[in-house]
Amino acid sequence: MARHSLIVITGPTASGKTGKAVALARALDGEIISADSRQLYRGMDLGTGKDLDEYGEVPYHLIDICPAGYKYNLYEYLRDYAVAYEDVVSRGKQPILCGGTGLYVESVLKGIQLPPVPQNEALRAELATKSLDELTEILKQYKTLRNNSDIDTPQRAIRAIEICVYYHENPHLKVKTEPHPITDALVIGIDIDRDTRRERITARLKARLEAGMVDEVRRLIEGGVAPDDLIYYGLEYKFITRHVIGQLSYDEMFTGLETAIHQFAKRQMTWFRGMERRGTPIHWLPYDLSDEAFVNTVISAR
């Protein structure tokens, strides 16, 4: 196989991306760069599905790089990805980008460049009393919403508006954000049928709860992370935090969270299909291929 500057392993949650990426890294003397927007945070392990034991001796990057409670953004990810990528390449290793955060994956592939956006305290104060629906309508004035990842909490919506306002007020920065797409990346999607995906999501959720996911959230709160900051991260941390602080019963938490993860996986697939429509070819391979068959198929891909 001709060496690609980047190999991407992506797909919906619970599709088995990490295991496939690790097998490929072993075969190609590669290192994995995470494209997961929540595995960045230290102490948020079970809820983000880090499964660090799965990596074995394979080096990984952009996992556990921020304290829990921090609000990491796309600008920081692209900055840190560039550093990690150059580090991997400088040692003659094959970079493998692995994760299901479509915004991160597509931004890397498109070569998006973003200048830093400072906080606008006056704007934040103005927006602080508005409802999520009102914030969504404001955001729609600036951008087309491809999915609701920007607007699942008021904090995210306010930050998204803050970024849009900054670019609107500084149009000269658009020259600096011209994309430089990667032309020789190989993008592999892990294809899993809806019913199997749903079964795996439910089984994994039960296993993580049994492994102590509620206690993990309690430890984070007891360690000083504000409940609202955990709710900001959505999914497991949103529902379990609301359970821990008494807003949801255990059954309400489980049912709501299970539904939310299924919806999240559906939104991920919508994003990946959108990537294909926007010009990114994704080679879909079955989730149940053996590691050996998966590696051989990727190596033979052109």
Q: 80-106: string of b/e by CB count within 10 Å (b at 16+)?
A: bbeebbeebeeeeebbbbbbbbbbbbb
Q: How does residue 177 score in pLDDT terms, banded at 50, 70 and 90?
A: low
pLDDT for the residue numbered 246: 97
pLDDT for the residue numbered 197: 97
| Mean pLDDT, range 179-190, rounded to an integer | 93
Looking at the domain assignment, is residue 72 inside a domain? yes
Looking up tokens 């709160």 gives: 221
Domain boundary among 178, 196, 221: 178
Shared domain for 163 and 256, answered yes or no, is no
Encode pLDDT of 203-213 as tens digits: 999 999 999 99
Encode pLDDT of 10-28 as tens digits: 999 999 999 999 999 999 9
Computed over every residue of the chain, the mean pLDDT equals 92
Q: pTM of the entire structure?
A: 0.85
pLDDT for the residue numbered 151: 64
Kindly state the tokens that stand for 28.
């190609």
Beta bridge partners of 234: none
Domain boundary among 178, 196, 225: 178
Burial of 65 (0-12, 13-18, 19+ CB in 10 A): middle
pLDDT for the residue numbered 140: 87
**Amino acid at residue number 154:** P
Looking at the domain assignment, is residue 140 inside a domain? yes
Looking at the domain assignment, is residue 238 inside a domain? yes
pLDDT for the residue numbered 147: 52
36, pLDDT greater than 50: yes
Shared domain for 100 and 170, answered yes or no, is no
Q: Calculate Rg over the CA atoms of the chain.
A: 19
C-alpha triplet 38, 44, 45: angle, nearest 5°: 100
Looking at the domain assignment, is residue 1 inside a domain? no
What is the count of structural domains for the chain?
Answer: 2
Beta bridge partners of 191: 286
* Phi and psi, residue 88, nearest 5°: -65, -50
**Amino acid at residue number 175:** V
Domain boundary among 133, 148, 178: 178
Least confident stretch, 33-47, 117-131, 151-165, 198-212: 151-165
Neighbours of 129 (CB within 10 A): 8
Looking at the domain assignment, is residue 267 inside a domain? yes
Domain coverage including residue 271: 7-113+179-300
175, pLDDT greater than 90: no
- Is residue 50 within a helix (H) or strand (E), and if so which, with residue range? none
Q: How does residue 6 score in pLDDT terms, banded at 50, 70 and 90?
A: very high
Encode pLDDT of 238-267 as tens digits: 999 999 999 999 999 999 999 999 999 999
Helix 17-28 / helix 291-300 crossing angle, nearest 10 deg? 60
Shared domain for 166 and 188, answered yes or no, is no
CATH number at residue 88: 3.40.50.300
Neighbours of 249 (CB within 10 A): 10
Shared domain for 226 and 286, answered yes or no, is yes
Shared domain for 243 and 137, answered yes or no, is no
Shared domain for 79 and 109, answered yes or no, is yes
Looking at the domain assignment, is residue 153 inside a domain? yes
Shared domain for 196 and 103, answered yes or no, is yes
Shared domain for 59 and 170, answered yes or no, is no
Shared domain for 144 and 247, answered yes or no, is no
Q: Cβ(151)–Cβ(157) under 8 Å?
A: yes
| Mean pLDDT, range 125-138, rounded to an integer | 92
Helix 250-277 / helix 102-110 crossing angle, nearest 10 deg? 20
Looking at the domain assignment, is residue 2 inside a domain? no
pLDDT for the residue numbered 152: 66
Shared domain for 107 and 216, answered yes or no, is yes
Q: With CA atoms as reference, report the closest residue to 54 among 87, 16, 93, 9.
A: 16
pLDDT for the residue numbered 145: 65
Shared domain for 197 and 235, answered yes or no, is yes
* Alpha-carbon span 256 to 38, nearest angstrom: 20
pLDDT for the residue numbered 302: 63
**Longest CA pairwise span in the chain (Å):** 56
Q: With CA atoms as reference, report the closest residue to 95 among 184, 178, 157, 156.
A: 184
Looking at the domain assignment, is residue 101 inside a domain? yes
Shared domain for 190 and 82, answered yes or no, is yes
